[in-house]
A and B are shown apart, each in its own frame.
Chain A
Amino acid sequence: MSGEKRSDNRLTDTGRFTGVLFPAFFYTAVVLLVLGSCWLFLSNAGELFPKKLAGFHDMDLWRRTGRAGLFAGGFWKDSVFWRSLNVSFVTSTLTAVIAAIVGIPAAYALSRFRIPGRSVIDILFSSVIVLPASSVGLCLIITCQYGIVRKIQDALNVHFAHSVFPGIIMAQLVLSLAMGLSAWKAAFDRVNPRFEHVARSLGSSRWRAFLTVTLPLSRTGLVAGFILAWTRAMAEFGAVLLFCGTFSELPLSHFSPLLKNMHLHQADILPVAMWTAIEYGEVEYGIGIAFALVMISSISIYSIHRMGGKGYVW
């Protein structure tokens, strides 16, 4: 018994060493790397990219709007950037919430029940993850712009394509849901179904067993899945571009009062805004947005990994 205690103490000492020193080295290295990269990027952006880009007719238009003079390091001063961030944030959050509402029960069912065709559903969603996003956008156009779906939209005077709601959300949802579903299913798979069996043998209904045992045990994985779904929605480009196009130059009459009040009009989601900026010759501005996207994705993935440290590995 005393031997066991000594052994435990040794383990604790080792744990203290790895638990304090190793993260300290790691965080210092990461902070230095990020600071160094930012300094290099901001100081050299002006030299790296020439201000005058011959051959782009629309450059004059963009210069007139007063944004062409901004270099990458100053993108955060631009109101359009913040509107784009707003659109991205609102649509991604809505998409992730819808994906969670649909995906978490579906993931639970796929993890726990013998559903006929379960492997087909699994393969379908897994293949969506590796599908080019632009083909998802094309599929959405074909589905929504023709046939009975189009007729229903016409009858209701609602059009999915080229709309913020539900256009962008539909385009983001496909890949976001596929990604979230895999993560949520993995989270439920990691919880031994025996816990639920025992809870039920002790008098709990299936629902109570889920709420009191499975949900607390899979919570970290579910939150990680939500962040992953949100990040995937935030990064969606191909499907949104093909299904919804760009909004920045559309007339105000195209947007509903709700969208205007939420400041979601005349702005694209960040990945589309980045592409538009580069298309119109504002390469520095596009790189600035890319930098912002990289930071958002990094923070998301970092938070998922932090959760991994507490018992969940995606």
Chain B
Amino acid sequence: MCGEIMIQIEKLTVRLGEFNIRDINLRIGEGEYVVILGPTGAGKSVLLECIAGICIPDSGTVRLRGRDVTRYNPEKRNIGYVPQDYALFPNMTVRQNIGYGLKTRKIPASDIQANVSAMMEQLGITHLEKRLPLKLSGGEKQRAALGRALITEPDILLLDEPLSALDENLRSQLAGELRRIQQRLNRSFLHVCHNFDEAAMVADRIAIMRQGSIEQTGTISEILTKPSSLFIAEFTRTLNFHQGTAETVPGGCRIKTAAGQIIHSAETSAVGPVTFGIRPEELFLTNDDNGSSGVNNLTARVARVLFRPSSLEVELDAGFPLIACHPRNGEFYRKVGEGDVLRVFFRPEAVMVFPGCRGGAG
């Protein structure tokens, strides 16, 4: 987290019938881009509405630059809000939409026009000024909505799934643009989404939410390498989950799988029945018998090879199924075919261990 604390959420609780948001704690620094990531129904949008002032929490506080704004009306908070569908006012042109927030601030009309023109130029939408929202594409709508929210210079901008309605190519293009705008304006952004790739493209930090509470907060690297729970490991696309029995050894633990293989992990606290997982990109393949030695070196037969646009996915049978995923470069990966017998090896640090058994793993 960088700079001054822009927004601080403490023990925020909202009761919504059977669904509750419980004890949310989150801090966002000035100029920081934080993404709240979670599956549908995790309570992300409700949390965003509480911060915006649309929904009043049952308990807890929302502090903006140290000021308690929990009970403030939305218009008193100076928080920008861009909903999922952008909610551009259909009865106004792009210029009128962007200037709307300034009109409420009783700024002279000439200043409003100048500010709106400058904002439209900055976002590259000057040519759209007389268009109605109905006539805009997804990307144009997004820029107009951003301009409308940013022109009032909010302390923080809340973005509720701003890219979810777009196709994959446009999504990655606009995610990059969002990040560039945020860095250029040096504003704090809080972005909600359910897509890990989208979060990884823009975020300084990620908070993962599940069933109304935040399970883990950290940088992308921290979340990928040290997921705090099996749910987060699964959500961030760790594959190769299997069950076994762990016993402590110096520098980590040794897991005996149901099929009898021995897997070494750097995790020191695991004992008894466990579920372990390995990210597909952490599995290395070689057809050289002397290519690797020591722990976590298994013999496997290639069951299936899938060519993805940017990677090669290899399904292996090592006594238990494994999936390896690598960039499609290098001579070896071009030659790998179904039925080949290979060596699979991976670092003990790449083996994530979670206590207990996962349903369906094995």
Contact = CB atoms under 8 A, between A and B. Distances in A.
A197 B81 contact: yes
Contacts of B52: 197, 201
Contact of A194 (B74, B85, B91, B101): B85
Interface string A273-303: 0000000000000000000000000000000
Given A202-B152, A203-B75, A208 B90 contact: no
A212 B79 CA distance: 20
A257 B52 CA distance: 59
A203 B53 CA distance: 12
Nearest to A202: B101
B87 A202 contact: no
Contacts of A202: 75, 80, 100-101, 104, 148-149, 152
A204 interface: yes
Interface string A165-200: 000000000000000000000000000101101111
B105 A203 contact: yes
B252 interface: no
Interface string A197-235: 111111111101000110011000000000000000000
B73 interface: yes
A133 B10 CA distance: 57
Contact of B104 (A197, A208, A217): A208
Contacts of B148: 198, 202
Interface string B48-73: 01001110000000000000000001
Contacts of A204: 75, 100, 104
B81 A198 contact: yes
Nearest to B145: A198
B75 A197 contact: no
A199 B104 CA distance: 10
Interface in B84-107: 85, 87, 89-91, 100-101, 104-105
Nearest to B90: A217
B355 interface: no
A179 to B, nearest CB: 26
Nearest to A216: B91
Contacts of B90: 217
Given A194-B83, A208-B104, A201 B75 contact: yes
Interface residues of A, number: 18
Contacts of A200: 53-54, 73-75
A212 B104 CA distance: 11
Contacts, number: 64
Contact of B83 (A197, A208, A212, A216): A197
Contacts of B152: 202-203
B85 A201 contact: no
A192 B54 CA distance: 14
A20 to B, nearest CB: 22
A206 B87 CA distance: 17
Nearest to B80: A201
Interface string B139-156: 000000000110010000
B100 A199 contact: yes
B87 A197 contact: yes
A240 B231 CA distance: 67
B54 A197 contact: yes
A6 to B, nearest CB: 17
Contacts of A198: 81-83, 87, 89, 148
A195 B148 CA distance: 13
Interface string B309-337: 00000000000000000000000000000
A196 to B, nearest CB: 9
Contacts of A216: 91
Interface in A63-90: none
A198 B74 CA distance: 9
A203 B81 CA distance: 11
Given A195-B89, A217-B90, A201 B79 contact: yes
Contacts of B74: 197, 200-201
Contacts of A192: 85, 87
A204 B82 CA distance: 15
A212 B73 CA distance: 18
A202 B103 CA distance: 9
B85 to A, nearest CB: 7
A204 B89 CA distance: 14
A192 B88 CA distance: 11
A118 to B, nearest CB: 15
Contacts of A213: 89, 91
Contact of A205 (B53, B75, B81, B105): B75
Nearest to B81: A201
Interface centre among B52, B73, B85, B89 (most CB of A within 10 A): B89
A220 to B, nearest CB: 11
Contacts of A194: 83, 85, 87
A285 B295 CA distance: 105
Contacts of B80: 201-202
A78 to B, nearest CB: 47
Contacts of B54: 197, 200-201
Nearest to A219: B91
Contacts of B89: 195, 198-199, 213, 217
Given A198-B148, A200-B75, 10 more contacts: A192-B85, A197-B52, A198-B89, A199-B100, A200-B54, A201-B54, A202-B100, A202-B104, A203-B104, A204-B100
9 contacts: A192-B85, A197-B81, A198-B81, A198-B148, A200-B73, A200-B74, A201-B79, A201-B80, A217-B89
Interface of A: 192, 194-195, 197-206, 208, 212-213, 216-217
